[in-house]
């Protein structure tokens, strides 16, 4: 009889192997469940916990009368929830074919391996998008097409297709478009470089948009509010099971009521554009493309209108930023994306003479009735060092070909904008204006005290601070000593002096209101979601030049070397500003603004300016010819003269003479302002029917 006999040693060996394997399993289970148990429990809990970011409604913007400038409108997205699709493949396919026709989308396009899913922007067909939902998030909506017409959304809702739905999301809307684009700005996706910053603020960087320009950018945090938070438990398929803690609801953004009147803003915008078009038609080619107008309340700093041309249409960027449109704006040499009212720096020309006049009167260098000899040209020594004989240079008045003005009272120097007069006052002229006149050191101090050379604090991003030069600046940035010629040029707003239109409005407002340097603002008050005022308007006086000593005293006030302050400071006398205002009034009555303001029913005062320049654009056109440089046009005015309530500044790039191209803009905007005021008063006087 044959028997299978296994050696006992072999059985023991097999048993040992099995025991070892079992021991390894037990040891592994012990390691995972006992030693590392808490870790894996924590990870499992992490996998089942998801924090949902709940969007907060963005704040709305209104003008001062309640007209909407920026709001949220519903946008309709078509979505699929894969887990809710029917089990019948034939029915699903027929449904997708009908949907593709309705949405004008391909059924099949690319594949998920080569074309990743990006909400609203994927170049995938409907079948590929559904496949993504089935594989990646069967219980979460996957967007098939975004921003579909409301009519299409209603049709889809009526079809009642299982698994196919409509997601309603807010999108920004800018009803006033390009008229207020420079003020309001626009939104865009969170920039990659700022992703961490906005994550910390609670934004969903793949969903939320942030301000890219204007008030949308400056007041981003206030307008955005605070997103909510919902912590939920989910299963392995991503299906929400229950809340793990009480949800934190979103806090809506604040609403902004602006200081601008959209009626005046609209009028100013079209006035500027009409004047540019008229002159371009006159010349027979597009010569003028760049202009600015700012209207401001000199007592409060409220900006009543702000126009920057060229501009852009922010309504085209409300839902997404079109690549071709944005690149065209970026490529435009006149920079429509730049707010020229606050960011463009230009020589101020003769409007800067108001600073020289204030300094001359306050320092006692001149007095209102003083007679100044004003021939068409004067010869001045161009000196770089004290005591140097210097090289003679001819300086011209703007009417030099007619022999100048002959003689002028000093206040008429303001009225007629005599260059020769202000050359003398600013830089001195022998015994007539001895000791170097005002001098660059004091000129800089007065300019800065009145509001030039620093940020105004307007609530818009990208403001420039301008430039009021002095000898130290020139040595550092030009590698040269200051000269007497530099002082003469600075006295009339030429040379190295640069200002922005908003600074010009602040300076003229300071003179108009009697010395208060106001901070300009575009926002009148903050409102909550129910319309209650949470931050009322409060005018901000940066300083009062008649009360707070801002003018430095120098050891060498009329010198050309380094400015040496003594440490003493003083104020500007109110009478000095009153005299300057009188000179500006004379400009309207019989000076450079007489023609532009002829027939204007409100007593007004102002100052024109023509500022020679030579920038890159002028150089490329070979227009920087000594003695015949191109010039920008400026005009600034306020009214009523005795109790100012509006200051208007207009700037026209390459506009030749201020009285010719900028002054009509100022006059027409003032016309619009007072006509609107009269219409409102008339309407208020009519009893309202219950």
Residue 471 backbone phi and psi in degrees, to 5: -60, -40
pLDDT band at 47 (very low <50, low <70, confident <90, very high): low
493: region left, alpha or beta (phi > 0 left; psi from -120 to 50 alpha) = left
d(CA 521, CA 540): 9
- In angstroms, the Cα distances linking 274 to 104, 279, 456 are 42, 9, 29
pLDDT digits (tens, 9 = 90+) for 288-320: 999 999 999 999 999 999 999 999 999 999 888
pLDDT score at 359: 98
Tokens of 465: 């601070």
- Give the per-residue pLDDT at 60: 97
Which H, E and C letters describe 144-196, residue by residue? EEEEECHHHHHHHHHHCCCCEEEEEEEEEECCCHHHCHHHHCCEEECCHHHHH
pLDDT-derived band at 37, boundaries 50, 70, 90: low
Over the chain, what is the mean pLDDT?
91
pLDDT for 349: 96
N-term to C-term CA, the chain? 124
Cis, bond preceding 640 (omega within 30 deg of 0)? yes
Nearest of 169, 97, 152 to residue 126 by alpha carbon: 97
Mean pLDDT, rounded, for 350-379? 97
Q: 297: Cβ–Cβ under 8 A, 6 or more apart, which residues?
A: 259, 304, 509, 645, 646, 647
Contact 351, 592 (CB under 8 A): no
pLDDT band at 236 (very low <50, low <70, confident <90, very high): low
């299982």: which residue's tokens? 162
Predicted TM-score (pTM) of the model is 0.88
pLDDT for 632 = 94
User: Which of 200, 253, 208, 204 is CA-nearest to residue 230?
Assistant: 204
Q: What is the mean pLDDT of residues 113-142?
A: 86
**Which single residue is written with the structure tokens 């979460």?**
140
What is the reported pLDDT for 344? 96
* 581: nearest Cα among 298, 255, 243: 298
Among candidates 340, 361, 267, 338, which has minimal Cα distance to 646?
A: 267
pLDDT at 538: 96
Nearest Cα to 71, choosing from 260, 316, 256? Answer: 256
pLDDT of residue 585: 98
pLDDT of residue 549: 97
CA 581 to chain centre: 31
Selection from 203, 204, 174 nearest residue 187 by Cα: 174
Separation CA 570–CA 666 (nearest Å): 34
Contacts of 111 (CB under 8 A, 6+ apart): 128
Structure confidence by residue, pLDDT tens digits, 517-555 = 999 999 999 999 888 999 999 999 999 999 999 999 999
**Euclidean distance between CA atoms 203 and 187, whole angstroms:** 14
How confident is the model over 360-377, as a mean pLDDT? 97
Residue 423, both tokens: 């050359």
Q: Could you tell me the two tokens for 171?
A: 């999108």
| pLDDT band for position 209 (cuts 50, 70, 90) | very high
Residue 121: band (very low, low, confident or very high) from pLDDT cuts 50, 70, 90: confident
pLDDT band at 560 (very low <50, low <70, confident <90, very high): confident
Higher pLDDT, 232 or 568: 568
Q: Look-up: residue for tokens 């698994």?
A: 163
Check pLDDT > 70 for residue 13: yes
Q: Are 587 and 606 in contact (CB under 8 A)?
A: yes
What is the spatial distance between Cα 334 and Cα 343, in angstroms, rounded to a whole number?
Answer: 13
Q: Which of 590, 573, 572, 657 is nearest to 408 (CA)?
A: 590
pLDDT of residue 690: 60
**pLDDT (tens digit per residue) in 646-665:** 999 999 999 999 999 999 99
Which tokens in the block code for residue 480?
Answer: 């040269």
pLDDT surpasses 90 at 12: no
What is the per-residue pLDDT for 31? 64
- 272-281 pLDDT, tens digit per residue, is 999 999 999 9
> Whole-angstrom Cα distance, residue 522 to residue 292?
16
Of 163, 467, 146, nearest in space to 320 by CA: 146
Q: What is residue 237's predicted lDDT score, i.e. its pLDDT?
A: 61
CB 213 within 8 A of CB 185: yes
Q: Which two tokens stand for residue 240?
A: 């929400």
| Reported confidence tier of residue 124, pLDDT bands at 50, 70, 90 | confident
Could you give the CA distance from residue 349 to residue 354 in angstroms, rounded to a whole number? 10
Confidence at residue 114, expressed as pLDDT on a 0 to 100 scale: 85
- As given in the structure block, the two tokens for residue 238 are 């991503």
Residue of 301, 307, 443, 298 lying closest to 362 (CA atoms): 443
Distance of alpha carbon 137 from alpha carbon 110, whole angstroms? 20
Nearest to 652 by CA among 635, 669, 640: 635
User: Hey, what are 304's tokens?
Assistant: 């009543």
The pLDDT score that the predictor gives to residue 364 is 97
Average pLDDT of the residues in 506-527? 98
Topology of 262-682 in CATH? Beta-lactamase (3.40.710)
């Amino acid at each position: 009889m044959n028997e299978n006999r296994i050696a006992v040693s072999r059985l023991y060996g097999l048993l040992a192997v099995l025991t070892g394997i079992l021991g390894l399993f037990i040891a592994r289970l012990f390691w995972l469940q006992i030693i590392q148990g808490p870790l894996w429990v924590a990870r499992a809990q992490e996998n089942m916990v998801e924090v949902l970011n709940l969007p907060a409604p963005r704040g709305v913007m209104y003008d001062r009368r309640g007209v909407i400038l920026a709001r949220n409108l519903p946008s309709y997205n078509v979505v699929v929830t894969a887990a809710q699709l029917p089990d019948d493949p034939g029915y699903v396919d027929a449904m997708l074919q009908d949907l593709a026709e309705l949405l004008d989308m391909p059924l099949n396009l690319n594949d998920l391996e080569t074309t990743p899913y990006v909400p609203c922007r994927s170049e995938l067909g409907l079948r590929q998008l559904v496949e993504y939902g089935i594989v990646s998030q069967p219980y979460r909506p996957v967007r098939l097409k975004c921003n579909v017409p409301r009519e299409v959304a209603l049709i889809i809702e009526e079809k009642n297709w299982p698994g196919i739905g409509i997601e309603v999301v807010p999108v920004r809307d800018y009803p006033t478009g390009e008229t207020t684009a420079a003020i309001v700005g626009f939104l865009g996706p969170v920039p990659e470089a700022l992703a961490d910053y906005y994550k910390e603020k609670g934004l969903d960087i793949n969903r939320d948009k942030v301000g890219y320009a204007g008030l949308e950018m400056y007041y981003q945090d206030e307008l955005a509010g605070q997103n909510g938070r919902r912590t939920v438990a989910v299963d392995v398929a991503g299906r929400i099971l229950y809340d793990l803690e009480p949800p934190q609801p979103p806090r809506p953004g604040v609403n902004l009521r602006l200081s601008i009147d959209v009626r005046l803003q609209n009028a100013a915008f079209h006035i500027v554009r009409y004047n540019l078009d008229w002159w371009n038609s006159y010349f027979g080619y597009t010569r003028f493309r760049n202009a600015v107008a700012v209207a401001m309340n000199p007592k409060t700093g409220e900006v009543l209108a702000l126009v920057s041309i060229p501009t852009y249409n922010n309504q085209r960027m409300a839902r997404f930023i079109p690549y071709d449109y944005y690149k065209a704006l970026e490529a435009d040499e006149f920079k429509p994306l730049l707010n020229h009212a606050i960011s463009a720096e230009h020589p101020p020309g003769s409007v800067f003479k108001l600073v020289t006049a204030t300094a001359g009167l306050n320092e006692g260098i001149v007095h209102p009735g003083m007679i100044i000899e004003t021939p068409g040209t004067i010869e001045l020594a161009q000196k770089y060092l004290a005591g140097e004989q210097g090289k003679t240079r001819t300086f011209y008045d703007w009417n030099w070909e007619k022999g100048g003005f002959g003689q002028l009272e000093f206040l008429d120097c303001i009225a007629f904008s005599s260059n020769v007069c202000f050359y003398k006052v600013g830089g001195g002229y022998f015994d007539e204006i001895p000791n170097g006149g005002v001098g660059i050191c004091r000129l800089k101090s007065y300019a800065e005290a009145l509001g030039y050379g620093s940020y105004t604090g307007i609530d818009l991003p990208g403001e420039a601070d301008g430039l009021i030069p002095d000898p130290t600046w020139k040595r550092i940035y030009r590698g040269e000593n200051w000269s007497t010629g530099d002082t003469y040029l600075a006295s009339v707003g030429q040379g190295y002096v640069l200002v922005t239109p908003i600074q010009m409005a602040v300076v003229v407002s300071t003179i108009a209101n009697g010395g208060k340097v106001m901070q300009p603002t575009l926002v009148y008050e903050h409102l909550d979601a129910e319309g209650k005022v949470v931050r009322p308007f409060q005018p901000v006086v940066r300083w009062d030049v008649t009360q707070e000593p801002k003018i430095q005293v120098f050891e060498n006030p009329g010198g050309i070397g380094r400015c040496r302050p003594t440490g003493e400071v003083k104020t500007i006398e109110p009478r000095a500003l009153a005299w300057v205002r009188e000179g500006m009034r004379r400009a309207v009555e019989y000076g450079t603004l007489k023609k532009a303001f002829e027939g204007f029913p409100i007593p007004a005062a102002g100052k024109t300016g023509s500022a020679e320049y030579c920038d890159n654009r002028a150089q490329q056109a070979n227009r920087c010819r000594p003695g015949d440089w191109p010039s920008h046009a400026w005009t600034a005015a306020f009214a009523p003269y005795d109790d100012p309530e509006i200051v208007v500044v207009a700037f026209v790039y390459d506009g030749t003479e201020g009285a010719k191209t900028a002054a009509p803009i100022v006059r027409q905007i003032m016309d619009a302002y007072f006509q609107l005021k009269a219409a409102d008063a008339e309407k208020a006087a009519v009893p309202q029917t219950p």
